């Protein structure tokens, strides 16, 4: 398992009964987590003294309950700064477990010894985009949500990367890649964090099990002749690490060589030293 264990401003303190107790900077949140199927004693004081609690509804969705929590605040990861705020469906604007991937591809970019063009698809609030830019890459950031792209730009400014070579695009990721193929544009690296289900800005339907293999194949057509890496993240139970490896082997290794490895990603739980699983990632690299 790849573990995001270099955080100072974030930690999973404890987990129990379908929820996780987290510290985001100076604030304590309790949020639901479908992986937490165990029931253990809630001994940590944060369970009773949290700043925010997202209550899952039996009818679907849910709502936040706040206790002295600001509308927004910041946390840091190494040289990056992220603006957080609780919003719909339990999210805060950041997936901390992805820091293990940020570290992996940042090292590859820094050691490449050449200019690196990265395409970040389903790019959300820009964690991967900023990590790439901070490592010296030129980045194209694509997300179908205008609000998320605006948020990502705010994170770039807070991180001192407002003048970095980042192209910000509000677009349907599949349609964007199809246009890039026609335009002949190429990228040295591709990162994708596709949702399990979603809609594009014009109502395009995305269902990961039905679309992901074809989309990976499509993306190989915009990889440069000397690509550096390819990363795909999955939060869908059906896309186990072995499934990610199989697809990447078929579509990328067969064309470009290199090697692929996939694994669960996780976060350490500070109260007991165990690891909370948080999805899976597949990584291809040229060497």
Residues of the chain with pLDDT under 50: none
pTM of the model: 0.94
Fold of 2-84: Immunoglobulin-like (2.60.40)
Query: Cα(280)–Cα(264) distance, rounded to whole angstroms?
Result: 4
pLDDT per residue as tens digits for the range 142-151: 999 999 999 9
Query: Cα(170)–Cα(180) distance, rounded to whole angstroms?
Result: 15
Q: Please, what is the average pLDDT of the chain? A: 94
b/e for 22-40, b at 16 or more Cβ within 10 A? bbbeebbbbbbbeebeeee
Q: According to the model, what pLDDT value does residue 196 have?
A: 75
Domain borders along the chain are: 2-84, 96-285
pLDDT per residue as tens digits for the range 208-233: 777 889 999 999 999 999 999 999 99
Tell me how crowded residue 272 is: count the other CB atoms within 10 A of its CB.
11
For the range 100-104, what are the long-range contacts, defined as Cβ-Cβ under 8 Å and sequence gap of 24 or more? 100/2, 100/3, 100/4, 100/5, 100/265, 100/281, 101/2, 101/128, 101/191, 101/231, 101/233, 101/265, 101/281, 101/283, 102/77, 102/127, 102/128, 102/131, 103/6, 104/2, 104/231, 104/283
Token pair of 74, please?
């910041």
Q: How far apart are the first and last CA of the chain?
A: 21
Token pair of 66, please?
């706040």
| Half-sphere exposure (Cβ direction) of 211: Cα atoms closer than 13 Å | 18
**Which residues does residue 12 pair with via DSSP β-bridges, in sequence order?**
22, 269
Q: According to the model, what pLDDT value does residue 217 have?
A: 96
Q: According to the model, what pLDDT value does residue 200 have?
A: 63
User: Is-contact 247 282, C-beta < 8 A?
Assistant: yes
**CATH number 3.40.50.150 given to 96-285:** yes
Domain 2-84 and domain 96-285 have a common topology: no
Give which of 4, 284, 262, 230 is closest to 120, Cα–Cα: 230
């Amino acid at each position: 398992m790849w573990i995001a264990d270099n955080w100072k401003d974030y930690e999973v303190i404890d987990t129990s009964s379908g929820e996780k107790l987290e510290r985001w900077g100076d604030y304590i949140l309790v949020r639901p987590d479908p992986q937490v199927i165990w029931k253990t004693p809630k001994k940590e004081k944060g369970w009773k003294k949290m700043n925010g609690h997202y209550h899952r509804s039996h009818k679907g969705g849910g709502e936040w309950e706040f206790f002295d929590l600001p509308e927004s605040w910041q946390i840091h990861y190494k040289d990056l700064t992220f603006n957080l705020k609780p919003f719909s469906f339990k999210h805060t604007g950041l997936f901390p477990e992805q820091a293990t991937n940020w570290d992996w591809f940042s090292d590859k970019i820094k050691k490449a010894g050449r200019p690196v063009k990265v395409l970040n698809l389903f790019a959300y609030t820009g964690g991967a985009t900023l990590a790439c830019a901070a490592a010296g890459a030129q980045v194209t950031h694509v997300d179908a949500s205008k609000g998320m792209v605006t948020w990502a730009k705010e994170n770039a400014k807070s991180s001192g990367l407002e003048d970095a070579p980042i192209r910000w695009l509000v677009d349907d990721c599949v349609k964007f890649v199809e246009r890039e193929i026609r335009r002949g544009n190429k990228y040295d690296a591709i990162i994708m964090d596709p949702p399990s289900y979603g809609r594009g800005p014009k109502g395009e339907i995305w269902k990961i099990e039905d679309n992901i293999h074809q989309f990976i194949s499509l993306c190989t057509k915009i990889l440069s002749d000397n690509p550096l890496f390819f990363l795909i993240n999955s939060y869908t139970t059906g896309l186990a690490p072995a499934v990610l490896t199989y697809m990447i082997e078929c579509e990328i290794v067969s064309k470009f060589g290199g090697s692929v490895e996939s694994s669960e990603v996780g976060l350490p739980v500070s109260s007991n030293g165990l690891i909370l699983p948080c999805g899976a990632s597949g990584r291809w690299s040229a060497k």
